[in-house]
Chain A
Amino acid sequence: MTTFITSVISGLGTGAVYGLLAVSFVIIFRATGVLNFAQPGLLIIGVFFCSYFAVTQGLPFYVSVVLAMLVAALVGIVSERVAIRPMVGRPVFAAALVTVGLFTILLIVAFRLFDSAARTINDPWQLEQVCLLASDTGCAIPVYHNTIARFVISMVVLGLLGWWLSRSRIGLAMRATSLDQEAALAQGIDVGRVFSLSWAIGGALAALAGILLAANGSVVQATDALFALVALPALILGGIDSLKGAVVGGLLIGLISSITSTYQPIYAPWLGPNFENVVPYLVMILVLLIRPYGLYGTKEVQRV
């Protein structure tokens, strides 16, 4: 039982980060109608700059997190302006392919920045634990500080973002743009600025998620960028255009892969090592069989 609870708690921690990542996809998708495969690139660039500010420049950790998010937001704005803006009004599949191209470019840039070395981000949590339930042999349910930090920071950021998007004029403009770009334009909304803003938020959230994932007491490498692809099943599971779905999907995927990594080596070792990395895709395929638009996704209504 204690193993199960430990696994659930660490699953909630990573799940919250997956939720954060999935929301970064959703915000870009809702504003621009583009599934951004370049998110892993933005994530790893954010992680690199966090490491650069915190370790190389010696700035305080939280300051460097904010600076890294700003850099990732800037990269997002520039990519959108250069590569995505010309694709307005073209098929979604073409725009998605453009982001695949963007992904390879950003990934190579990250490889150059890391220079094939592993870096640390100097986070304050490292491998420290608190004890949730003591037992006679020591600690029955240890909880890592970084698990708590992941969950709390993700939920606070998501809550603030949701509140801001539902209350502010800019949030209203973003929702209007996602409904109908031309109608929004006719109402005097600067759709181009909404695009830029959504990419900025997407980039910043991806960077934050990457930093939280990297804050596990070990080192981070450029190839860790591919980790962001785990958010894709979470995104599809929740529905590609739903903020709520993204958070629920992220938490679900986090829980499922954490529980799998705890029990699968014991009960089904023939599935092989690292099976928890493919379990999200399996769950996603099963859910898509029943609900082709995910759990909370809007069914596409088409005019012929």
Chain B
Amino acid sequence: MTTATEPDASPGTADAVAREAQGLERLTGYSRSLRSSEGGGTVPGAARRGRPRLVTAYAKDQALLNTPAKRWWTIAALVVALLAPFYLTRDLTLLLSMAMVFAISGIGLNLLTGYAGQISLGHPFFMALGAYTAAVLGGSPGSTTWGFELDLAIALPIAALVPAVVGLLVAPLAVRVRGLYLAVLTLGLLMLGEQIFKQWSQLTGGSGVGRGVALPVLFGRDLSVRYALGPWIIDEDISLYLICLALLVALGVMARNIARSRTGRAFAAVRDRDIAAEIMGVNLLRTKTLAFVLSSAYAGLAGALMSLLVGRIVPEQWNIFLSIQLLAVVVIGGVATITGTIIGAAFVVLLPRILEELAPYLPFIGGATGGGIITIFQLETILFGALIILFLTLEPRGLFGLWYRVRTYFKAWPFSY
């Protein structure tokens, strides 16, 4: 009876093959019929007329710049960021560049910790790897240290590649252990790395001495020379600022795209309940390894840029306090948000400067020589700690969450929700 009702189910016909193929597609999740981007046509045109912001498809809802307001604000922010260094003093330009480096590194850490849920205290180790790769490839040789004087166009990509490969080697170990064990394991990685960097003096210049960094030569152009572009004068600090900005935009968009893709959803599934994710068909080993490799590559590039900005790197600077600062970037900015990470990085890097400016008006802050209840450095460290606690207990989504609340309030206005 059943064979009679399904006349074309006999094997061998083209239709059956196509059906089977579709079934396989469904199983692997790649089926065209499941793709949401083509679902937009189902809403009749009459319903959409006059409602420009009516979302008719998942893809549109997930678009990078899905509202006109976002589009305009992004353009405005980019223009301001491009023009800012020409109107700011040299030290402020450097500070903003440093904020962007922290943002790149923080985005990497957020991919691993915020999206994929793997807590890592070893991020500075990968930054150091990137910094030393760039310094060896792009730097000039010292009396004891290596240096090949290559172009930044070669040194920077390899500075991302080397940490990624090391991340790939470490990942199988990190995948085996879970949760808090992983946190301590990555801390161990940081400690081991510090010992290696202190001893390997051809690479790092040795403990307490340090080494010079890559020469600022990009595509054969010496960036330390002053260029004039129309009315604008481009100094070395501005060139570096623009490089950081370009990389931040590219890497930020890339991270955002990863986060809203299949991979990003796999990360979130692993974070929320890894066994459930595995049962749903998410390959745990592959997903966690990918998260590690990606975040290491981001960290490496950030480390290389940081070395270019500070001009001299010592093995001691990649320590647990840098680790805490990066965690502060992620937590204060907002766990599992890219925009939030950028805000958080700006906050963490600019806070000391703001406190410095405020110091004369706050009588309890002592100078570098002492006096007062507390020095600026101590105040800023205490503030980081307090802010980490406050944000985690009161607003887990960080500064981005605060902004989100404001946005939702005005979006729904005059209704309360």
Interface residues of A (CB under 8 A from B): 35, 83, 86-87, 90-94, 96-98, 100-105, 107-108, 111-112, 226, 229, 232-233, 235-236, 240, 270-272, 274-275, 277-278, 281-282, 284-285, 288-289, 292-294, 300, 302, 304
A94-B392, A105-B385, A304-B275 known, 6 other contacts, Cβ within 8 Å: A92-B180, A101-B389, A281-B191, A282-B192, A284-B184, A288-B181
Q: Would you call B188 and A96 a contact (CB within 8 A)?
A: no
The chain B residue sitting closest to A229, CB to CB, is B187
Q: Would you call A101 and B386 a contact (CB within 8 A)?
A: yes
Return A167 CB to nearest CB of chain B, in Å: 29
Closest 9 CB pairs of A and B: A101-B388, A281-B188, A104-B385, A272-B199, A105-B385, A101-B385, A101-B389, A86-B393, A35-B180
Q: B181 contacts which chain A residues (CB < 8 A)?
A: 236, 240, 288, 292-294
Q: B178 contacts which chain A residues (CB < 8 A)?
A: 292, 300
| Interface check B179, CB cutoff 8 A | yes
Q: A83 contacts which chain B residues (CB < 8 A)?
A: 389, 393
| Interface check B10, CB cutoff 8 A | no
Asked if A92 meets B179 with Cβ closer than 8 Å, knowing A101-B386, A233-B184, A284-B188, the reply is: yes
The chain B residue sitting closest to A226, CB to CB, is B320
Q: Would you call A272 and B385 a contact (CB within 8 A)?
A: no
Q: Would you call B195 and A278 a contact (CB within 8 A)?
A: yes
| Interface check B384, CB cutoff 8 A | yes
Q: Would you call A96 and B183 a contact (CB within 8 A)?
A: yes
Report the stretch among B19-27, B76-84, B237-245, B374-382 that lies at the interface: B374-382
Which parts of B162-182 form the interface with A (CB within 8 Å)? 173, 176-181
Q: Would you call B179 and A292 a contact (CB within 8 A)?
A: no
Asked if A97 meets B199 with Cβ closer than 8 Å, knowing A108-B382, A232-B184, A284-B188, the reply is: no
- Total of A-B residue pairs, C-beta within 8 Å: 130
The listed residue (B113, B187, B393, B394) touching A232 by CB distance below 8 A is: B187
The listed residue (B185, B279, B374, B381) touching A304 by CB distance below 8 A is: B279
Looking at chain B's contact residues, is the secondary structure mostly helix, strand, loop, or mixed?
A: helix
The chain A residue sitting closest to B393, CB to CB, is A86
Return A275 CB to nearest CB of chain B, in Å: 7
| Interchain Cβ contacts under 8 Å between A and B, 24 examples | A93-B113, A93-B180, A96-B180, A97-B119, A97-B392, A98-B393, A101-B387, A101-B388, A104-B324, A104-B384, A105-B385, A105-B389, A108-B378, A108-B381, A235-B184, A271-B199, A277-B191, A281-B188, A281-B189, A281-B191, A284-B188, A285-B188, A288-B173, A304-B279
Interface residues of B (CB under 8 A from A): 113, 117, 119, 173, 176-181, 183-185, 187-189, 191-192, 194-195, 198-199, 273, 275-276, 279, 320, 324, 327, 331, 373-374, 378, 381-382, 384-389, 392-394, 396
Q: B173 contacts which chain A residues (CB < 8 A)?
A: 285, 288-289
C-alpha spacing A270/B188, complex, angstroms: 20
Q: Would you call B393 and A302 a contact (CB within 8 A)?
A: no
Q: B183 contacts which chain A residues (CB < 8 A)?
A: 35, 93, 96
C-alpha spacing A282/B196, complex, angstroms: 12
Q: Would you call B388 and A98 a contact (CB within 8 A)?
A: yes
C-alpha spacing A101/B279, complex, angstroms: 35
Q: B320 contacts which chain A residues (CB < 8 A)?
A: 226, 229
Q: A111 contacts which chain B residues (CB < 8 A)?
A: 378
Q: B189 contacts which chain A residues (CB < 8 A)?
A: 281, 285
Q: Would you call B392 and A101 a contact (CB within 8 A)?
A: yes
C-alpha spacing A226/B385, complex, angstroms: 16
Q: B188 contacts which chain A residues (CB < 8 A)?
A: 233, 281-282, 284-285
Asked if A87 meets B393 with Cβ closer than 8 Å, knowing A233-B188, A288-B173, A292-B181, the reply is: yes
Q: Would you call A94 and B386 a contact (CB within 8 A)?
A: no
Q: Would you call A98 and B392 a contact (CB within 8 A)?
A: yes
Give the interface centre of B195, B327, B373, B386 by most chain A CB atoms within 10 Å: B195
Q: B385 contacts which chain A residues (CB < 8 A)?
A: 100-105, 108
